[in-house]
């Protein structure tokens, strides 16, 4: 398959996971999902970064993305396209991707707390890839992808994450480039 087409189809598939991962940064806050409780090692179970509000809006905007994708497909794409999952298909797929992405973020935070890393301290690779891995684990059994698309997603995700952060840093939206 043409690399550009492969790249497009990979990003198209995973898009609700990216949205679900990004939205809590803007619409998060409120009560943390661990209710401020500690694990038996005396450190926070998950931390203040993962909240009920962030999770709710992450899933909501993930599903909205899926619904928009459906309309774009029926309006602008070949109905024979492999992307034509139908409305209910896009709702289920985007729900699975968004839930998986947020579960991955939560697990990533849990792991970081066990390694005594504070919220905001970066864990390169873990921060950029757990949400993709779990989005794929949740969605793949119902909406499988070719193996080369999966490998491409795992390789490009840290790069996309990094380049978007560098752009935000250059625009003075972020204090650090990572």
Q: Which residues bind a second copy (CB under 8 A)?
A: 111-112, 114-117, 122-126, 129-130, 147, 178
∠ CA(88), CA(151), CA(70), 5° rounding? 20
CB of 144 to a second copy, least distance (A): 14
Nearer to a second copy, 79 or 120 (CB): 120
Place of tokens 């928009």: 68
35-55 b/e (C-beta count within 10 Å ≥ 16 → b)? eeeeeeeeebbbbbbbbeebb
CB of 125 to a second copy, least distance (A): 4
**Are the beta carbons of 125 and 100 closer than 8 angstroms?**
no
CA-nearest of 110, 100, 176, 177 to 138 is 100
Nearer to a second copy, 10 or 133 (CB): 133
Report the C-alpha gap between 13 and 19 in whole angstroms: 12
Find residue 32's DSSP bridge partners: 51
DSSP state of 29: -
Alpha-carbon distances of 76 from 8, 68, 69, 80, rounded to whole Å = 15, 12, 10, 12
Nearer to a second copy, 76 or 172 (CB): 172
Nearer to a second copy, 73 or 136 (CB): 136
CB of 37 to a second copy, least distance (A): 21
Nearer to a second copy, 116 or 172 (CB): 116
Report the C-alpha gap between 159 and 139 in whole angstroms: 22
CB of 147 to a second copy, least distance (A): 6
CB of 175 to a second copy, least distance (A): 12
């Amino acid at each position: 398959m043409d690399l550009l087409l492969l790249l497009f189809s990979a990003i198209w598939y995973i898009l609700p996971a990216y949205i679900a991962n990004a939205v809590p940064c803007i619409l998060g806050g409120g009560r943390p999902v661990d209710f401020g409780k500690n694990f038996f090692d005396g450190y926070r179970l998950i931390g203040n970064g993962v909240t009920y509000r962030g999770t709710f809006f992450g899933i909501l905007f993930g599903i909205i993305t899926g619904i928009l994708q459906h309309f774009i497909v029926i309006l602008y794409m070949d109905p024979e396209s492999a992307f034509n999952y139908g409305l209910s298909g896009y709702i289920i797929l985007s729900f699975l991707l968004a839930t998986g992405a947020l579960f991955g973020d939560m697990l990533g935070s849990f792991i970081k707390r066990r390694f005594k890393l504070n919220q905001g301290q970066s864990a390169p690779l873990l921060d950029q890839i757990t949400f993709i891995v779990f989005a794929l684990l949740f969605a793949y059994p119902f909406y499988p992808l070719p193996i080369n698309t999966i490998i491409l997603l795992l390789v490009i995700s840290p790069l996309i994450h990094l380049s978007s952060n560098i752009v935000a840093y250059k625009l003075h939206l972020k204090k650090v480039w990572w």
